[in-house]
Structure 1
Amino acid sequence: MPEFIAPGATIGIIGGDIGAYQLARSASHIGMRVAVMAETADAVALKAADIRIVGTDRAAYARLQSVCSVITFSDEKIVDADMLDDMFSARQLPSGTDILSMTQDRYLEKVFLEDLNLNVLPYGQVVTSDDIDKVVATVGFPGILKPIQKGIGADQQLLIESDVDVWRARGLLQKRPYIYEAWLKKPRELAVTCVKTPDGLQVFPVVENQHDHHVLTATIAPAQIEDDAFMEILRIAEKVAGRIDYTGVFAIEFFYTAEGGLYVKRLSPGPRLGGDVLRGITNTTQYALHMRAIAGWPIPTIPVKGEAVLLPLQRRQMEAVATQIQIKPDWQWQFFPAGEDPVGELIVPGPLKHAFSSLAATEVFNIQ
């Protein structure tokens, strides 16, 4: 059980992205000092840190270990789980590293989900170019060939639709393991945010995420789905939470087909961008909940009310943003320090039908 951490202690955050920035702000709000360890000196999260550590080598981890009561991470792709296990005490790692073994490796994640008898898309492991034919014969067309290691860009993924693509893939394979997974054409993407502590689990409303070339463009809360799909997602959340040794916020993402097929897409430790929609339908944020959990503070029962749409804001939209700020008093705006997109977030309160029509009327912000 996480040890209670009183205000004035230092919480460490591994990651330099907007998620780490928002975690750092939430830690400050409960009276903590914040140490952020990021890959580069221009990382946005460092702007919210009291102690700034640049680098991800052993020396950087040692510095983080020496100044922090507890640590967490915003981006599992850059975390070295072996380094954490080697250098940090269990007291300093309330979230543990158990979850990283699944979320950093696509193949192990699939195995974990299958061991729980959860529905995943057909897949196979590709270690050498000779494996492709065997795996494709089993999984079929179309499929996506992805590096097993997460964090490698989407440009390293290849859609396989025919034998010609298989032949082409052999020439593109690098010396790393891959996973070949069945591909669905335009499924809906759902997600659920959960917070787990030794005292129990809270599961928040199922949301629908919309993406454009792997970039989140909108989150709709709650997702408009059938009751049986909703109940199955709750069952899956409880089953996953019961198996992982973890404290804090985590998310589970799903594919949902027009025929009602539900497939677990991935498991993610820590807050995810789409989970920011909770700010529009609850009295808290996923970052505040995560910080309370890892600091050993009790988690209240969070009331959920209303509906909302979240839109990450891009720099190219800022002229339109300035106009809408002046004429939409009910819209909720949040902006981040200058840096990469997104530059901020917009939450439009429901009812959803009204939110959709208001967004469409701008001709800039829209829902697919």
Structure 2
Amino acid sequence: MTRFIAPGATVGIIGGGIAAYQLIRAASHIGMRTVVLVPKENDIAAKAADVVVVGRADDPNKFAEFSGLAEVITYVDETVADGDMLADRLSKAQLPSGTDILEVTQDRYLEKVFLEDLNMNVLPYGQVVTADDIEKVVATVGYPSILKPIQKGIGTDQQLLLESDVDVWRAKGLLQKRPYILEAWLDKPRELAVYCVQSDSGLQVLPIVETNYELHQFTGAIVPAQVDGSVVVEILRIAETISKHLEYRGIFAIEFFLNAEGALYVKRLSPGPRPGGDIIHGVTPRSQYDLHMRAVLGWPVPTVPVKGSAVLIALSKEEQDTVATQIQIKPKWEWQFFPSGSKQLGELIVPGPLEAAFTTLEATGSFKIHPTITVDQLDNGGDKQ
């Protein structure tokens, strides 16, 4: 049973950026004080928290200072703190989300093994420890494939797409002294995500979302994802199965690839909020940050009513002039802006119907969503979600 935390208590948040900033706002909205542990003094989360500790979670002095100020602690994702360290230094009551999910998600190889053990479909993969391992794994996985550090949180500049033997030889020369995973690569699959909240009340699965990325950067989302009923059933099975095997409280995301033939692969599992989950607030009265806070603070998590459809666009700073124009002529559009210092200007949510939302966005000449479905496939009936 998660300990109930009354208003006026201090919530600690490990990690910075937009996710931490939004969690701080959600905690403040329900009467909590906040302390944040951020790596840099100018992090945008530092602008919202009541108390700021600048440092890394692996610095014992900084972590002791931070944890001593908080009655309950949460983390923004799996990259900000080592799970073993958190388990050693915090009680279960102080860390309601626990560390089970970190043990699975901080290592890409262990994550694949965990998912396979639960009878879930993942892309072919293999572990690479030395340069000679690359050829052995490519012989099994094939081309194209992508080489990634096993540890999450290392930049995408450390990933390498292999499309031929020439790329293998190049990878051998660039390989650093750390373990990697080599995974099969899909060309332009649809990307889906489901956001779930686990609380003392059980599991609540939110609508399935289709997400857009360009060069590893999140650019937008569509809800509900237009997928066949069989895909919905499988995603729900996966969410329920994972929740039963992890002692966790809060929001977590499961991301998927869906190829042209309709095969569904689990891409990754992530604790905490994810950028695509912001679109949930476009079709429900709750945000993912509010739901996460309620779960970790031992508050009742209400069953969230879902209504309508929506499109979310991540706004870049280069679009500021266009944003100013559209604000004045689009009264139904919902805007959110982030403090200066954020890499992203903000977000735009356009309520559905989806066909009308796509058309209106395209008409601006600036805001675009790139659905991998056609307008003809948009269906309010049938077996689409």
TM-score bucket (shorter structure): over 0.9
**Equivalences for residues 64-213 of structure 1 within 5 A:** 64-213=66-215
**Displacement of 1:330 after TM fit?**
0.2
Give, in angstroms, the shift of residue 91 of structure 1.
Answer: 0.5
Query: Per the alignment, in what secondary structure is the counterpart of residue 68 of structure 2?
Result: helix
Hey, what does 2:357 align to over in structure 1? 355
Matches within 5 A, 1:210-229: 210-229=212-231
| Secondary structure class of the residue paired with 1:279 | helix
- Deviation beyond 6 Å, 4+ runs, structure 1: none
Task: Tell which deviates more after alignment, 76-85 or 193-202.
Answer: 76-85
Aligned to 2:9: 9
Q: CA deviation at 1:327?
A: 0.3
Q: Distance in 1 between matches of 2:258 and 2:31?
A: 41
Look up the match of 1:48: 48
Counterpart of 1:130 in 2: which secondary structure? helix
Distance between the aligned counterparts of 2:317 and 2:78, measured in 1? Answer: 26
Aligned length: 368
Amino acid at match of 1:161: E
Match for residue 298 of structure 1 among 284, 300, 305: 300
Look up the SS of the partner of 1:40 in the other structure: coil
- What is the distance in 1 between the residues matched to 2:72 and 2:123? 37
> Counterparts of 1:22-41 in structure 2 under 5 Å?
22-41=22-41
Q: Give the superposition deviation at 1:83.
A: 2.1
Offset from partner CA, 1:247-281 (integer Å, 9 cap, x none): 00000000001110100000000010100001110
Q: Deviations over 1:2-43 (max 9, x none)?
A: 100000000000111100000000000010000000000011
Contact 1:143/1:159 (8 A) holds in 2: yes
> CA separation in 1, counterparts of 2:39 and 2:48?
15
Deviation at 1:86?
1.6
Corresponding residue for 2:243?
241
Alignment RMSD, CA only?
0.7
Contact kept? 1:58, 1:83, Cα under 8 Å = no
Structure 1: stretches of 5+ with no match in the other structure: none
TM (norm. structure 1) is 0.99
Alpha-carbon shift at residue 205 of structure 1 (Å): 0.6
Aligned to 2:254: 252
Give the corresponding residue for 1:365. 367
User: Which SS does the other structure have where 1:67 is aligned?
Assistant: coil
Residue 374 of structure 2 is matched in structure 1 by none
Residue 341 of structure 1 and its aligned partner are, at CA, apart by 2.0
Q: Does the CA-based 8 Å contact 1:210-1:216 persist in structure 2?
A: yes
- Paired amino acid for 1:112: F
What are structure 2's unaligned runs of at least 5 residues?
371-385
State the alpha-carbon separation in 1 of the partners of residues 159 and 264 from structure 2: 23
Query: 8 Å contact 1:251–1:270 — kept in the other structure?
Result: yes
